[in-house]
Copies of this chain bind each other. A is one copy, B any other.
Amino acid sequence: MIKPRSRRGGGRPTISDVARKAGVGAITVSRALREPERVSLDLRRQIQAAIDELGYVPDPNARALASARAEVFGVLVPSLTNNVFAEVVRGIYDSLSDSPFRIQLGNTHYSGLEEERLLQLFGSQRPAALIVAGIDQTPTSRKLLENAGCPVVQVMETGPDPVDMMVGFSHLDGGRTATDHLIEVGYRRIAFIGARMDPRSQRRLAGYRAAMEKAGLFDPRLITTTPLLSSVPLGRELFRDALAKMPTLDGVFCNNDDIALGVLFECHRAAIDVPKTIGIVGFNDLDMMQVAYPSITSIRTYRYEIGRRAVAMALAAIAGDRPQVRVVDLGFELKRRESTAR
């Protein structure tokens, strides 16, 4: 006699328990859950009653195995604590909270290798969609994305040649706009201060450089960067370095708002007048920028919206109507504030 393997799962009800209780076939329960319109109202009610009574919850693993498709969005970001990515992730979560999709979040730590490893891992789950930050994947990563067999959205940046879809904005233009603003308002010896020089930061720097060169103001000694992770204290340090290197500087375009805040604090401490002596521009426009004293000019970016849009596009692609426009540029906005009000 065959001894059935004792319920390994600890006796949680299965779909056949529900089916038995409702007096229908297991398949009908499955259908009632996934395509209710194909099951008569009567049975649907009966089945729902059985589900409620038993406290049945479908096993996503069994479901994924049987259907060769997991209801999972894989999301890859380079940092979890950087507010910018946290906002994107929040947008993704909020957009998916009412859907059956779960989220598998990976932290690449700005490492291409780590990204490849995670992509490999995520791919093994046959996710419904993949959302990855950035457009500078390694060739290996790119191949993994192309062969993922699901919609892929690259976020944060736009660029040519998307793997599939893209939502973001031009960091180069952002950097240029910020720098142009400083020039326009009258600053001349404008420094660039940046930490964690990832590809997006590099492009902001390129935008800065383009603007400076165009105005005939470029000087490589105005640039201070570090590979260290960005933070407010680091912003302060870098600003002091920049000032030591170039005591006559009269403006700063910061890689991001953390750095800008560090610069502002150091100006306070050193009794440097902002905006009279030095003008400051940040990047991303965290909400604290507008209440800082003086309030800090920054490039507003739409991180939360990027997350939402990425999900919307992926969902559309899953549903079969792949969007016509595959690269969405959400733009940015220069917020002029007191820190450059000269």
- Hey, which bits of chain A sit against chain B, CB under 8 A? 8-10, 57-62, 64-65, 67-68, 70, 80-81, 83, 86-87, 89-90, 93, 97, 102-105, 107, 114, 120-121, 123-126, 149, 231-233, 236, 258, 261-262, 265-266, 268-269, 287-288, 290-293
Flag if A60 contacts B124 (CB, 8 Å): yes
Flag if A288 contacts B233 (CB, 8 Å): yes
The one of B62, B86, B121, B292 in contact with A65, judged by C-beta atoms closer than 8 angstroms, is B62
- State A67–B97 Cα separation when bound (angstroms): 28
The one of B61, B120, B258 in contact with A125, judged by C-beta atoms closer than 8 angstroms, is B61
Closest chain B residue, CB of each to CB of A231: B287
- State A233–B57 Cα separation when bound (angstroms): 42
Q: How far is the CB of A18 from chain B (nearest CB, A)?
A: 14
* B residues less than 8 Å from A265 (CB atoms): 288, 291-293
Interface pairs (10), CB distance under 8 Å: A81-B90, A97-B114, A105-B105, A232-B287, A232-B291, A233-B291, A236-B291, A262-B288, A262-B291, A265-B293
Closest chain B residue, CB of each to CB of A107: B93
Extra pairs beyond A80-B89, A80-B90, A97-B114 (6, CB < 8 Å):
A10-B68, A59-B125, A61-B64, A65-B65, A102-B104, A258-B288
The one of B9, B89, B103, B293 in contact with A269, judged by C-beta atoms closer than 8 angstroms, is B293
Flag if B288 contacts A232 (CB, 8 Å): yes
- State A233–B290 Cα separation when bound (angstroms): 8
- Once A103-B105, A105-B105 are accepted as A-B contacts, the answer to whether A57 and B121 lie under 8 Å apart by CB is yes
* B residues less than 8 Å from A107 (CB atoms): 90, 93, 97
Q: How far is the CB of A109 from chain B (nearest CB, A)?
A: 8
Closest chain B residue, CB of each to CB of A58: B124
